[in-house]
Chain A
Amino acid sequence: MDLEVKGPKVYWELPFELPDSSIFTMKNLITQTTVSLLAVTVLLIVIALITSKHITKRPGKLQVVAEKLVTMLYNLVEDTMGSHNLKFAPYIGTLFLCSIFGTLIGTTQLFRSTTADLSVTAAWALVTTGMVWYNNIKNFGFGQWLKGFTEPIVVMTPMNIVSEIANPVSMAFRHFGNVAGGSVLTALIYAALSMASSALLSWLPGALAEIPILAAGIPAFLSIYFDLFSGFVQALVFSLLTMIYVGGACPPPSELPSKKSQEKH
């Protein structure tokens, strides 16, 4: 049994001298993930176009479903971030759709899951961190934001800085690890099941013994967990964490003026 855990296939590398270590590369321009990202984008744009083609006051079936989902999204954002932060709902929805479609596109076997590539989840997590920092500085001012690291006591400063860095890292690795780990596990189980079935059918002559009969059916249930359920949960967790972190940087307007006046003194 030869099972190798590999990253995305590289389709086109740049012909220049560029950093190309095992954990950070700038050489591989087009990979499997790039193609998957493009596929997800095209798919979502097509779905959006079909859904929004006839938005009417008396909705059709498709519009009812879409409206239900949009209402759920706005309710979730309102519950998590407050009604003053509803402007973030479209981004959260986009992030959620990108995440879940990126995970599920791997089940087609034509594409590799975009979220099974650390680059993608890291990029998304960095967007979240960027939004948090931008909104913190915008709402509280640069000095107040830096001062926030020394609270509640100065001794906590290193830990606060570490946790600030740990947030995007843990977000990126959590999402990546769940999806990639799920695909690795699925591959392992496939291999194990085909080994088991060849052992079971070893008395049959020739190629008949190689039919992996046990691999039919069982992995489907595992796929429901590792791809559908886990993909949904990870998309939700990623979106929720983004909402919580960004929401923390955007307190209700009623709490802002006092902090701004504190900063001026």
Chain B
Amino acid sequence: MGLLNVLDKFENFVGVNFWTMIFAWINLLILYLFLKKILFKPLKNMIDSRQKEIDDMYSDAESSRADAAELKSEYEEKISHAKEESEEILRGAVRRAQLKEEEILREANDKASRVIERAEEQIEQEKKRAINEVKNEVSGLAIDIAAAVIGRDVSASEHEDLINDFIDNIGTDK
């Protein structure tokens, strides 16, 4: 500053210097453009992007928490459903088993009664057959006896009615 200092001159305490104003404007403009580009904009962008990141993280966490809660309730519902279902299945199985049991029993009863019926039928037939056999035997015998008594031949075909009456009478008498 030595070279510049040769002037022993001071400005007025309260006064406006045109050139100082110009320099003030130039400096303000330079600083404005420079600080805006180098300092304010990058820092503001960084703050905003970090804020956005944090907000995103929070909203992500919130949404995944909500998802988890939804899944949980879904699973709980499913589990309770499964319980109901298993009970339902069990009940169905029991019912089916009971039905089956009843059916089997009924079938067995039917079969048994059919067997008994058939056996009774057979017995009846056997009985009829036996009676018929006995009838024939007895009629033959009766003819023989009658022939012996009357002394002549008794034709089975001629005296059939008589024989049958006789046999029937024997049956009814007994």
A7 near B15: Cβ-Cβ < 8 Å: yes
Which B residues are in CB contact (< 8 Å) with A73? 40
A-B contact pairs, 25 of them (CB 8 A): A8-B11, A10-B11, A23-B16, A24-B16, A24-B17, A25-B17, A28-B11, A40-B27, A44-B35, A49-B38, A52-B38, A52-B39, A57-B53, A66-B43, A67-B46, A70-B47, A94-B36, A117-B20, A119-B17, A119-B24, A120-B20, A123-B22, A123-B28, A126-B21, A180-B13
- Asked if A142 CB lies within 8 Å of chain B CBs, one says no
Which B residues are in CB contact (< 8 Å) with A37? 20, 23-24, 27
- Asked if A229 CB lies within 8 Å of chain B CBs, one says no
- Asked if B78 CB lies within 8 Å of chain A CBs, one says no
Q: Is the interface of B mostly helix, strand, loop or mixed?
A: helix
Question: A118 and B15 in contact (CB under 8 A), knowing A45-B34, A67-B46, A94-B35?
Answer: yes
- Asked if B1 CB lies within 8 Å of chain A CBs, one says yes
Question: A51 and B13 in contact (CB under 8 A), knowing A25-B18, A30-B4, A45-B34?
Answer: no
- Asked if A89 CB lies within 8 Å of chain B CBs, one says yes
B9 near A9: Cβ-Cβ < 8 Å: yes
Which A residues are in CB contact (< 8 Å) with B49? 57
Question: A119 and B35 in contact (CB under 8 A), knowing A7-B13, A95-B28?
Answer: no
A10 near B16: Cβ-Cβ < 8 Å: no
A13 near B9: Cβ-Cβ < 8 Å: yes
A70 to B46, CA, bound (A): 11
A119 near B13: Cβ-Cβ < 8 Å: no
- Asked if A238 CB lies within 8 Å of chain B CBs, one says no
Q: Is the interface of A mostly helix, strand, loop or mixed?
A: helix
A26 to B24, CA, bound (A): 14
Query: Which residue on chain A has the smallest CB distance to residue B6?
Result: A11
Question: A57 and B46 in contact (CB under 8 A), knowing A44-B31, A89-B40?
Answer: yes
Among candidates B7, B50, B53, residue contacting A12 with C-beta atoms closer than 8 Å: B7
- Asked if A3 CB lies within 8 Å of chain B CBs, one says no
A66 to B44, CA, bound (A): 10
B17 to chain A, nearest CB (A): 5
Question: A23 and B4 in contact (CB under 8 A), knowing A37-B24, A48-B34?
Answer: no
- Asked if A132 CB lies within 8 Å of chain B CBs, one says no
- Asked if A252 CB lies within 8 Å of chain B CBs, one says no
Other CB < 8 Å A-B pairs besides A34-B23, A67-B46, 6 of them? Answer: A7-B10, A9-B9, A28-B17, A55-B42, A98-B31, A117-B11
Q: Mark B59-101, 1 if CB is under 8 A from A, else 0.
A: 0000000000000000000000000000000000000000000
Which B residues are in CB contact (< 8 Å) with A120? 20-21, 24
Query: Which residue on chain A has the smallest CB distance to residue B51?
Result: A71
A31 to B15, CA, bound (A): 13
Among candidates A22, A29, A97, residue contacting B15 with C-beta atoms closer than 8 Å: A22
- Asked if A6 CB lies within 8 Å of chain B CBs, one says yes
Which B residues are in CB contact (< 8 Å) with A57? 46, 49-50, 53
Which A residues are in CB contact (< 8 Å) with B43? 51-52, 55, 63, 66-67, 70
A118 near B7: Cβ-Cβ < 8 Å: no
